[in-house]
Structure 1
């Protein structure tokens, strides 16, 4: 099963979701198509399985980020994200699928927002009433960074630096406001 998952991730990263076929996944794994269908009856099934596993792994990677001090939090999150995307390039393809179960999508989004909210709160530098909104904003910026990283274009990589700068400025401003209160 691990070989099938690895092959699916490779094909998805190389070809994109629409162009990926079950036949190609089986061939890349060196397995029969019947073996693939035994574990994953459809392309949607294996994509959903990988997507869920990657989101759980990303959540675990983010849990290792030290939330304090606030000044380094954004850099640490984006560093963890960059490392994760290098190890799992298929994530960019998987998050853009249109056939994601809405309930699963909401559950994953909520879990990641909660993780980010806890990290922001743990810094102790931000106003508590704004943390939930900041977590939503941060997750959306992470999603943008995933797409920009996947393209590999120099302009897109530069855009990630701008994203980080904007986030730094917003968090610094909010932390400064909270400190003056």
Structure 2
């Protein structure tokens, strides 16, 4: 038996560029990934198409993102941060707001977010390579939603707000999935029903 230990292959990692030119190239690759994933879905999208859309060589794409999975994970990190900033911006508007007003604003801003980040709905249910990071992002968003519910009028207690935040976040995920069904003729009616359901639930809790 050989005494030489079997070496495990290192996990591929995203390369973070230090120079401005490299950062601009990565930004272009992420924009191209956003477009291709939104148009074709994760499975059908190819790295060749993404590189071509970005006007980059395939070697340049693999230099920064060794796998399609890492590209998608990075894009979801960027989009998740944008969603978190959206929730932060809602906190001031939530102060003293009625549940219906808060939910309307939440749905309005979520709709604008999905329009600006079309790949988010496509990639949201894809298993992430970094599960710990995904769980951390989810916990952060729950805390942000709970803060909104505590700030409204009438406010929820912290305990109830934390419980409702879990429900609201899952309803937001359902909203994202429904919004991604462009062929669904009754999509807007379904989203309206979802909005009313959420308002009733929050009002019952307050």
TM-score bucket of the superposed structures, by smaller chain: over 0.9
Q: Quick check: which has more Rg, 1 or 2?
A: 2
Q: Identify the residue that residue 54 of structure 1 maps to in structure 2.
A: 79
Q: Identify the residue that residue 88 of structure 1 maps to in structure 2.
A: 117
Question: Which runs of no fewer than 5 residues in structure 1 stay unpaired?
Answer: 176-181
Q: Identify the residue that residue 23 of structure 2 maps to in structure 1.
A: none
Question: Which runs of no fewer than 5 residues in structure 2 stay unpaired?
Answer: 1-25
Q: Identify the residue that residue 168 of structure 2 maps to in structure 1.
A: 138
TM-score by length of 2: 0.81
Is 2:195 the partner of 1:168? no
Write the deviation string for residues 32-54 of structure 1: whole angstroms up to 9, x where unpaired: 00110111111011100000110
Write the deviation string for residues 11-38 of structure 1: whole angstroms up to 9, x where unpaired: 0000000011111100111110011011
Q: Where in structure 2 are the equivalents of 1:24-39 lying within 5 Å?
A: 24-39=49-64
Measure the CA separation in 2 of the matches of 1:122 and 1:44.
38
Q: Identify the residue that residue 178 of structure 2 maps to in structure 1.
A: 148
Checking the alignment, whether the CA contact within 8 Å between 1:70 and 1:171 is kept in structure 2 is no
| Helix, strand or coil at the partner of 2:94 | coil
Write the deviation string for residues 90-133 of structure 1: whole angstroms up to 9, x where unpaired: 00111121244221221111011011001111115233121111
Higher helix share: 1
TM-score by length of 1: 0.92
How many equivalent residue pairs?
Answer: 175
Measure the CA separation in 1 of the matches of 2:54 and 2:34.
11
| Helix, strand or coil at the partner of 1:96 | coil
